[in-house]
Amino acid sequence: MSTRKTRVGIIGAGWPGQQHARVLGAIEEAELYGCAETDAPRAEEFRETYGPRKIYPNYRELLRDPAVDAVVICLPNFLHFPAARAALEAGKHVLCEKPPTLNASEMVVLREEASRRGLVYFFSRQFRFSPTMRMARSLIQQARLGQIYFAEATWVRSRGIPQGIGGWFTEKSRSGGGALIDIGIHALDAAWFLMGTPRPVSVSAAVFRNFDQLVQAATFDVEDAAFAFIRFANGAVVQLKTSWAANLTDEIPEGRYFGRELNNCTIYGRKATIRLRPFTLFEDVDGTLADQPLEPADQADPFELQMRNFLDAVKGITPPMNDAEQALYLMEMLDAIYLSGSTGREVPIARAEKTEG
C-alpha cells in the first residue's frame, strides 16, 4: 500500500466541484492537484479559493497529466460518460457526480472498463454518508426494523426547476431527464440503500411535464414530475414521488430556494418504521406503537466521509460504498421508470449482463 498522497483532479467547478475541493483540504492523505474548467472566470475563482496546483482549460488536458491519480467529475450529465470513460482509459480512478450516466448501457461500459483496469469507479451520493442516514442504517443493521417491506422516497419542490450553465438541466439530450434524474435519484437511492440495495425486478411509473411557463431556457423537453412503484426480488416495494414543480399543499414546508420543498424517506419494517425528517423511530413495543425522536450521533460532513471512502478504496483499504454495480442498478431503475412512463405499462427490469471483454 502506497503512502504517497493521492493526487486528485476536479473536473467542473460548479457547486459540487467546490464541495469536493473543500473537503479535500481537510484530508491529509490526498492533495487537490488540479482543476479542469472551460469557464475561465469560474476556474480563476476556484483557483483563488481552493488553491489547486494546476488549472486546465478542459478535462481532456487534465486527463493527459500523468501526475493525476484520481478525478472527480462534476460536469453536466451528458459529459459524465465520455469523461469517466476517458479517465478510466487514462488510468485514473473515478468519482463521478450523480447521475452516474444517462442510461444503464453507458454504465455497463464503465463498470467493465473499471473492472478490466483494476480502477475504482465511485458514484457520488453524499447523502449516504449524512449523520441521519448513517444512524438509520446502523439501526437497520441492528435489526431494529425487522423485515423491511415498504419505503416511501420523496423529493418534491413546488417551484424549483434548475438552470445550470447554458440551461442544460432542462434539455433531455444533455441532462438525460428532469426531476427524476436530478433529485428523484437521490430520494430513490436513499430508500434503496437503507433497504439494503435489493435487486429491482419491475417498475410501474408515470412522468409529467406540466410547468412550461416556469422555464426561461430555450429547451424544456424533460419531465418536471415523476411517480413510480418499484418491486424488488425480496418482495419489498418502494413508492417514489419527485417534482421540480407542482402545486404542493401546505403540509410541505417552505424551503430556502425552491418554494415548498421536502426531501424525505420512510422505511417500514415489521418491528418498526424509521423516518428521516423529522428523524423518528416508530416502534412496536409489546403491541403498542411508540414514537421515539432520534438524534444523530455526530455532525460529520457527508462530502468529507464520502471522499475518505473513495480515497480508501483507491488505496485498497476498503471497498467503495457507492460502487459501479450499484450505479448500474440505479440506472436500470431510472431507465425502467422512463420506459414505463412513456408506454403506460409495468416494465420488468432485465439485468444488463456483463459484456465479454
Ligand X SMILES: NC(=O)c1ccc[n+]([C@@H]2O[C@H](COP(=O)([O-])OP(=O)(O)OC[C@H]3O[C@@H](n4cnc5c(N)ncnc54)[C@H](O)[C@@H]3O)[C@@H](O)[C@H]2O)c1
Residue with CB nearest ligand X? Answer: 14
Angle at 25 between CA 76 and CA 319, to 5 degrees: 70
**DSSP assignment string, 240-265:** EEEESB----TTSPB-SSSSBEEEEE
98 near ligand X, rule: CB under 6 A:
yes
Q: Is 16 in the site for ligand X (CB under 6 A)?
A: yes
Stretch of 23-31, 68-76, 112-120, 313-321 lying at the interface with ligand X (CB under 6 A): 68-76
Residue 40 or 317 having the CB closest to ligand X: 40
3-state secondary structure at position 168 = helix
Report the candidate in 281, 274, 249 with the shortest Cα–Cα distance to residue 262: 249
Tell me if 76 contacts ligand X by CB under 6 A.
Answer: yes
The count of residues interacting with ligand X (CB under 6 A) is 24
- Rounded to a whole number of angstroms, the minimum distance from the CB of residue 183 to ligand X is 9
144 residue type, one letter: R
Omega of the bond leading into 99 within 30 degrees of 0 (cis): yes
What's the rounded Cα separation, in Å, for the pair 69 and 76?
22
| Residue 13 makes contact with ligand X by CB under 6 A | yes
Question: Closest CB to ligand X among 61 and 212?
Answer: 61
Among 36, 108, 191, 327, binds ligand X (CB under 6 A): 36
Q: Does 137 bind ligand X (CB under 6 A)?
A: no
Cα 354 to Cα 352: distance, rounded to the nearest angstrom: 7
Nearer to ligand X, 114 or 185 (CB): 185
Using the 8-state DSSP alphabet, how is residue 175 labeled? H
How far, CA to CA in Å, does 157 sit from each of 248, 298, 334?
8, 28, 19
Of 71-79, 196-204, 224-232, 347-355, which part binds ligand X (CB under 6 A)? 71-79
For residues 216-225, b (16+ Cβ closer than 10 Å) or e, as one string? Answer: eeeebebbbb
Q: Does 106 bind ligand X (CB under 6 A)?
A: no
42 binds ligand X (CB under 6 A): yes
Q: Does 39 bind ligand X (CB under 6 A)?
A: yes
Q: Which of 7, 8, 12, 81 binds ligand X (CB under 6 A)?
A: 12
Query: In the complex, which residues of this chain contact ligand X (CB under 6 A)?
Result: 11-16, 36-39, 42, 58-59, 74-77, 79, 97-98, 124, 126, 164-165
